[in-house]
Amino acid sequence: MGGYCGCMEGVPESVAVIPLAGVKKSLGYRVPPEMAGRVGVGSLVRMPIQRRSELGVVTALEAPGDFPFDRLKFIHQVAQPFPVLTPDLIRLAEWMAVYYSTGLEAVFEAMIPAAVRKGMKPKEKRFVRLAGELDADVLAALERRAPRQAEVYRFLAGQALVKEVPRETLLKRMKVSAAVLDSMAEKGILDDARHAERRLAYDDEWGDAERVEGSETAHILTDEQRAAADGLLEALGKRSFAAHLVHGVTGSGKTEVYLAVLEEVMKSGGGAVFLVPEVALAPQTVGRLRARLEAASGGRTVVWHSHLSDGERFDAWHALATGEARIVVGARSAVFAPVPDLRLIVVDEEHEPAYKQEETPRYHGRDVAVYRAHLAEALCVLGSATPSLETVRNAQTGKYALHRLMKRVDDRPLPMMHIVDMKRELAHNRAPTVFSRMLIDKIRDRLEKSEQCILFINRRGYDASLKCPDCGYVAMCDHCDLSLTHHRAEHILRCHMCGHEEYVPRKCPQCGSPKIVYRGSGTQKVEDVAQKLFPKAKIVRLDADTMRKKNLFRAVLGDFRRGKIDILVGTQIIGKGLDFPNVTLVGLMDADLSLHLPDFRAAERTFQILVQVSGRSGRGDEAGEVVVQTFIPYSDALQAARRGDFEGFAEGELAQRKEYGYPPFRHLVHHIFRSKSLEKVKFYAEQWTKKVETELVPTVPIELRGPAPCPIERIKDHYRYQLWYFTPSASKLMPKLNALRAKFAWDREVIEVVDVDAVNLI
Ligand code: ADP
Ligand code: ZN
Ligand code: ZN
């Protein structure tokens, strides 16, 4: 168990406590003498507030303000014997509450798991072990006077490798009574031990399917990897905040670079957080990290994700909070792990939208990671093959240091990407087709060679944009450079950024085709058609539905690794981080789906998806190929992805963003209003906008757009309106916006939510 930090420096008589609910400021309390040694910064305590007993976190070892000491109330109870928040987390919570425009209690709730707040305790178990070896004559005497005890002794002495045996197990196994063991303990033959039993998830979870051969040993780094690792290690050694971007093509060995730095953190006794977009989707990464880090440090790696039971969650948390484990691998919320002496946060695949939490508190895991590292004076490493333009911009302006990995390890070539124009396929077949001729040929070829294929179909497509099947025309807003959304019921096209509306055209304005209707095909359809085309192939579909069944997902990946499956069909999200050396062909069935989201990041997302999915191909000895099917083969995102030209794409896209003043050049704050009453939501959205125009616009740099109805205007009988704020400084805007929001006379039937640095614009 790690030491208890706060209280060692002196016994506090009073403390400052931030309540987890109700009051939004820190309050002073006295520490009763009997609790003196157990209260420190970060302690979770119960204390009286207005005659109720509430939970709170100790933030300082002295009461705030000059309230007379004698009149302070006493703390009731110390709810957990270890600090639940590290000092940097307390300050992080305070920053988040302002920046993300939310209550401190919501942030604390995100930071401290319910099981910890509820006062759960580690599950204790009793163990026994031999105190030492008995002399022959003593043993002989024992044989005579207490044969049962001698039997227990001989059994334990025979367990060469196992030093401790659970008491329960021993009682059952030897069929002796507890009195026998107690008597042996009294005589000093046995030692009695009590310690926490771990309810550890994942101990055998990442079984053979995901364990990669030889993953326990480090590779000799390539020159590029070495240069990146050295740069990171140097920054780590400075023990001050820095953010570094590792921008490396798929298969360039970024994980190996992180591992070099993580091992150094373990060696020096510090703590680290490793974030992945979703743990269930990164079994291989988790397996590699655990194998290597546990071998390097002899310590434990805690895995943190949303499928843990309360007990598992508590134990994982407890291990970190007490210093028993110093590294956590997990999804977004692991950024709040109470890792002691935090030196490093790694955000893998930093561009992933999954890092954004879409419910209160609506934080971005990557941005919070950077800010936490700043508070903890730690190093933050962001890694990706396709960094977000926000991060690219930070690297360009010098806020983040940049390391480039341009080559795949072993000089494996990046896969060759073919772009197929589906207009031609349509003309050739005179009917909509799912598989182009080129894709069919190439799949057939792989099946003959016993190589494997993955087919991706991006279901995140928004099925309401209006698209011409003949020429690929998509209806766009004249003012916003965004695709218009088709509202079938009203028969209009509407821009969700500015509210601009148009009638639905009867024929395509570009080519005159009357076939301007939406068509799409999901994973199911791709699987069905593929099975008809290749009746002998073993085809399995993986998508969000199958992923909910965790074991099925892992079983499928295991079968795929062992070559029992020829073709895997899935949404692009399953593609993250998968490393299957026998996959030499990847097909992207419809690249256009993500291109026409009513979202200014549509091109960026498409580029990311293309590069990421194609990165799954050709990771072994055979070179890989990628077939991308599209109606708009000339689009910048596709062409740049085909050339593997990240810089070119980023430059063009950034120039456009700059022109429109979109992120990363300004922050985007999304304000959503909803109510069961359409009149009310419209009225309040407009009244509020007027208020902002008169009170905020003159005092902070801010540009408003809207209010306008949301893309999905009604959800669960609630009508939705939205307002956008563009600002160069969210940290300047948010405190003022929060103050105005608190003062405004909202109607009880209107719910309003503020989403800072919004990712999901629908
Ligand atoms: P990325 O995360 O950049 O896509 P990975 O870290 O998954 O790449 O590495 C790709 C593959 O190359 C993995 O199978 C990994 O074990 C292997 N690898 C990484 N670095 C080296 C190296 N220096 N020498 C040999 N193999 C390596
Ligand atoms: Zn057309
Ligand atoms: Zn518009």
CATH number at residue 24: 3.40.1440.60
How many angstroms separate the alpha carbon of residue 509 from the centre of ligand 2? Answer: 7
State CA 606 to chain mean position distance: 20
pLDDT of residue 82: 86
pLDDT reported for residue 120 = 85
Q: How far is CA 748 from the centre of its chain?
A: 34
> Which-ligand-closest: CA of 705?
3
Pocket test for ligand 1, best of 281, 288, 292, 579 (most atoms within 8 A of CB): 579
Instruction: Tell me which of 288, 406, 409 to substitute to probe ligand 1's pocket, judged by most ligand atoms within 8 Å of the beta carbon.
Output: 409
Contact of 443 with 449, CB cutoff 8 Å: no
Q: Which ligand is nearest to the CA of 495?
A: 3
Say how many Å lie between the CA of residue 508 and the centre of ligand 2. Answer: 5
| Closest ligand relative to 510 C-alpha | 2
Q: 476 C-alpha vs ligand 3 centroid, how far in Å?
A: 8
Backbone dihedral angles phi then psi of residue 406, each to the nearest 5 degrees:
-90, -20
Structural domains of the chain, count: 5
Residue nearest to atom 18 of ligand 1 (CA): 253
Mutate to test the pocket of ligand 1, among 211, 216, 219, 256 (most ligand atoms within 8 A of CB): 256
Distance 251 CA to ligand 1 centre (A): 6
Decide if 316 is inside a domain: yes
- Looking at the CA of 505, name the nearest ligand: 2
Same domain, 264 and 367: yes
The reply to whether 307 and 338 lie within a common domain is yes
Whether residues 349 and 218 fall in one domain: yes
Closest ligand by atom to 287 CA: 1
Same domain, yes or no: 331 and 403: yes
Q: Is the residue at 7 inside a domain?
A: no
Tell me which residues have their CB within 5 A of the ion that is ligand 3: 477, 479-480, 495, 497-498, 500
Q: Is the domain of 712 the same as that of 563?
A: no
CA dist 615 → 393, 564, 644 (Å): 24, 22, 11
From 379, 411, 443, the end of a domain falls on 411
- Which residues have C-beta atoms less than 6 Å from ligand 1? 219-222, 225, 248, 250-256, 409, 579
Boundary of a domain, candidates 411, 438, 470: 411
Nearest-CA residue for ligand 1 atom 25 is 219
Atom index in ligand 1 nearest the CA of residue 250 equals: 4
Report the CATH number that the domain containing residue 129 is assigned in CATH.
Answer: 1.10.10
pLDDT at 508: 86
| Same-domain check for residues 183 and 219 | no
- Which ligand places an atom closest to the C-alpha of 499? 3
Q: Does residue 355 form part of some domain?
A: yes
Domain of 448: which CATH number?
A: 3.40.50.300
User: Which residues constitute the domain of residue 234?
Assistant: 207-411
Structure confidence by residue, pLDDT tens digits, 623-675 = 889 999 998 899 889 999 999 899 999 999 999 999 999 999 999 999 999 99
Are 352 and 372 part of one and the same domain? yes
Q: Which residue's CA lies nearest to atom 10 of ligand 1?
A: 251
Assigned token pair, 93: 């919570």
Three-class DSSP category at 60: strand
In a domain, 319, yes or no: yes
Domain identity same for 614 and 720: no
CA of 422 to the centre of ligand 2 (A): 13
Rounded to the nearest angstrom, the distance between the alpha carbon of 222 and the centre of ligand 1 is: 10
Assigned domain for 723 exists:
yes
- CATH number for the domain harbouring residue 689: 3.30.70.600
On whether residue 510 sits in a domain, the answer given is: no
| DSSP symbols for 115-176 | HHHTT--PEEEEEEEESSPPPHHHHHHHHHH-HHHHHHHHHHHH-SS---EEHHHHHHHHT-
Question: What is the Å distance from ligand 3's center to 482 Cα?
Answer: 7
Predicted local distance difference test score (pLDDT) of residue 460: 39
Listed residues 196, 226, 247: the one ending a domain: 196
- Other C-beta atoms closer than 10 Å to the C-beta of 155 total 14
Q: Are 31 and 15 in contact (CB under 8 A)?
A: yes
Ligand 1: distance of its center to the CA of 444 in Å? 29
* Nearest-atom index, ligand 1, CA of 225: 23
- Do 453 and 545 lie in one domain? The reply is yes
Residue 508 lies in a domain: no
Residues 397 and 434 in one domain: no
The pair of three-digit structure tokens given for residue 568, joined into one six-digit string: 């895997």
Residue nearest to atom 24 of ligand 1 (CA): 219
Question: What is each CA distance from 365 to 317, 565, 605, 760, in whole angstroms?
Answer: 18, 35, 18, 14
Is there a single domain that holds both residue 652 and residue 677?
no
Distance 619 CA to ligand 1 centre (A): 9
Pair (443, 583) in one structural domain:
yes
Q: Ligand 1 centre from 350 Cα, in Å? A: 18
Distance of CA 471 to the CA centre of its chain: 38
DSSP 100: T
Between the CA of 465 and the centroid of ligand 3 the distance, in Å, is: 14
Residue numbers of the chain with a pLDDT score lower than 70: 1-11, 22-23, 160-162, 195-216, 281, 297-299, 458-465, 480-482, 487-490, 496-497, 517-524, 543-550, 572-577, 597, 712, 762
* 139 is a domain residue: yes
The closest residue, in CA terms, to atom 20 on ligand 1 is: 253
Beta-carbon count within 10 A of 446 CB: 21
